[in-house]
Amino acid sequence: MRGVENETPVYLYQLPVPGEDRYASLALVNTRFTVSHGRVDLLDGTEAAHLWLVRHALLPDPVELNGRQSGRLRALREALRALFTARAAGTRPPADALGTLNAALAAAPATPRLDWGADGPRRADLPDTGNPAAAALFLLAEDATDLLTGTDAAQLTECAAQNCARWFLRSHGARRWCTTKCGNRVRAARAYAARKAGSP
């Protein structure tokens, strides 16, 4: 398996969206998107899924990932997408999406520990590391649970740009696009449509 140093083609990179730096689960949901070349899936295949987990400090680089484990990561991503959609719409999520998240939480249950850092003591709930891939899914599911049940959930929004499908945390109520790139693309399309409609 290739290590983390191997580079992903540059066209696969998207500008980070607000909230991805705080919530790995938000970054996970945004691993599937559309560019001018077509649909992109940053988790397409076991090696790509391994690379994504390593780059997000969820899995040690030497740990192998198998096809079943990478499939579970993609299934968790789709479950989170459904849960985010339900949260934003104020509706109940599909039972299978909730079941997928809860299965990830149960796969590597956390053990409470006392951690003593420079700032003093604090409680740390560490997942069972006997299965590092299950621990990575647990951390992502726990992160999503924190997002969906915390104060940031009210800002969780899907980008309004056509074909974008990325989620972000709104910094203010009027924000509709995940990045200025999406906003500029929408404004350019509107301007083009207006010019076309006004031409004889």
Full-model pTM: 0.82
Is 119 part of a structural domain of the chain?
no
Instruction: Tokens for 24, please give them.
Output: 């790995």
Instruction: Write out residues in the chain with pLDDT < 70, as ranges.
Output: 1-14, 36, 173, 183-200
CA distance 69 to 73: 6
The pLDDT value recorded for residue 61 is 94
Please report, for the domain that includes residue 20, its CATH number: 1.10.3300.10
The pLDDT value recorded for residue 25 is 98
As to burial, measured by CB atoms within 10 angstroms (0-12 exposed, 13-18 middle, 19+ buried), residue 104 is buried
The pLDDT value recorded for residue 38 is 78
Quote the Cα angle for 166-171-174, to 5°.
Answer: 85
Is 166 part of a structural domain of the chain?
yes
Is 3 part of a structural domain of the chain?
no
User: What is the span of the domain harbouring residue 175?
Assistant: 10-112+125-198
Grouping H, G, I as helix, E, B as strand and the rest as coil, residue 11 is helix
Domain total for the chain? 1
Is 79 part of a structural domain of the chain?
yes
Within 8 A by CB and 6+ apart from 181, the residues are 15
The pLDDT value recorded for residue 2 is 44
The pLDDT value recorded for residue 4 is 43
The pLDDT value recorded for residue 182 is 81
As to burial, measured by CB atoms within 10 angstroms (0-12 exposed, 13-18 middle, 19+ buried), residue 18 is middle
Is 120 part of a structural domain of the chain?
no
